[in-house]
Amino acid sequence: MDTTVVLTSTNPYGSRTLTIEADRTSSVAYLRGAKGIVHGAVWLANHVPAPAEADLGRADAGLPPVMPEAHTAHPSGRPPLDAESLSVLWFEEGDGVALYENDTLLAVIPAWADMERGMPGYARDAVGESPFAWPLGEALEGLSPRMARARAYWQWRQAEGSWATYQQFVLGHLDSRLGTPGRYWDVGGDRFPLVGVSERPPTFTRDYTVLSTVGMSCQRMPAAEMYDTACRVELALATRQDPRVAARLFAWLGQYPWRSVTWLGHGHTARWFQNPVTFPLDGGHQGVLMLMDPPGLPDMSGFMFGGDAVRWLWLLPLTESELRLVADRGHRAISERLAMTSRI
C-alpha cells in the first residue's frame, strides 16, 4: 500500500524535519534529523476500524502504525488528515515540535521522545500509553506553557527590529563589562541562528583582546533543560593574537548547538574539525575547553534574556595531550592548575 507525505516542515535551524505520512489505514508524524534518522514518531489517527491488537508488522515494514481499539478515542476511525488544516509550531530550541489541526493541538513530539526507549510523542486521540503514542491531554499541564512560550518567541523573533534590539542589549552589556568596542564580524553567514563577534581591544588594565559572540543567547540551546544547565550561553575568548584569525573559533562553534541539536556547557571540550595545523591560535593546540567564570578573566555575569540568565563560556585552547587528559579525568584535572592568562 502506497504511503503519502501529507506535510513536511523543517525547523529554522535546518536540523530537524517533521514529516506527516499516511496511507489508507492510518497517519503518523516522524521527527527526523538532518541525515534522515528518526528521532521521534507519534501515531496521529486511524482511518479504518481499529484492530483488537497492534499490528507490529506494519511498523516493521515502514508503514504508519495502526492503533489498537483500546488506545484510540476513535475506534471506528476518522477521516484522513487534510494538509490545509495542519500547522506546525517548532520549539524555540528546534528540538521538538507541535502539530495543530484547525488551530487545535493534535500532537507534540518533544525533545525527549525516543522510540527505542519506548517514549513516543503525545497524540490528542491516544487513550492510555502505548508504543505508538501517549495521551496528549494528560501532558498538557506541562506542554501548554511550552507551546505558549514557543509561539511568543517566534512572533517576537519574526517582528521587525527584534534582532537589532537584541543586539543592542548584548553589546550594551559587553560595554559595561569589557569597555569600548572595536570591530564586529558576522560569523553566521546566511544560516540561522544569526551569530556575530564583538571585539574588545586591550585597555589600561587588560593587555589582551576579548572576543565575544553576539547571538547565541537569542535562542535556548537544545536539550540543555534536560541536564539542568544553562540554556542560554555566549562564547568568549581572551587573546593576544590576531583577533580576525581567532574569530574563526566562533564561526566553528557559534551555531553548533542548533546544527547538531545539542548543548555546550561548563567543562565541555571540542576538538578542531580540520587539520590541527589550521587551528586559529598558535601554540600547537588542537581543541578547546569551555569554562564558566574562570579565574583571572573578566566577570561577564548580570545579563538576562527571555527570563533566563545568560552565561559566558570562555574558550581555553588545549593541546592533544591536554584533550586526552580531560577526556580521561575530567576538566578539573587541568582547569585547577592552569594559569588562564598564560593561554592567551
Range 27-51 average pLDDT: 93
Nearest to 193 by CA among 139, 225, 227, 234: 234
Nearest to 98 by CA among 189, 2, 29, 51: 29
Q: Which one has a higher pLDDT value, 63 or 67? A: 67
pLDDT band at 231 (very low <50, low <70, confident <90, very high): very high
Give 228: exposed, middle or buried? Use CB within 10 Å, 0-12, 13-18, 19+: exposed
Reported pTM: 0.93
* pLDDT exceeds 70 at position 246: yes
- Output the pLDDT for position 333: 81
Instruction: Indicate the average pLDDT of the chain.
Output: 93
DSSP annotation string for 181-203? ---EEE-STTSSSP-EEEEE--B
Provide CB contacts within 8 A for 81, sequence distance 6+: 6, 7, 20, 22, 27, 44, 45, 101
pLDDT band at 331 (very low <50, low <70, confident <90, very high): confident
* pLDDT exceeds 90 at position 220: yes
pLDDT band at 139 (very low <50, low <70, confident <90, very high): very high
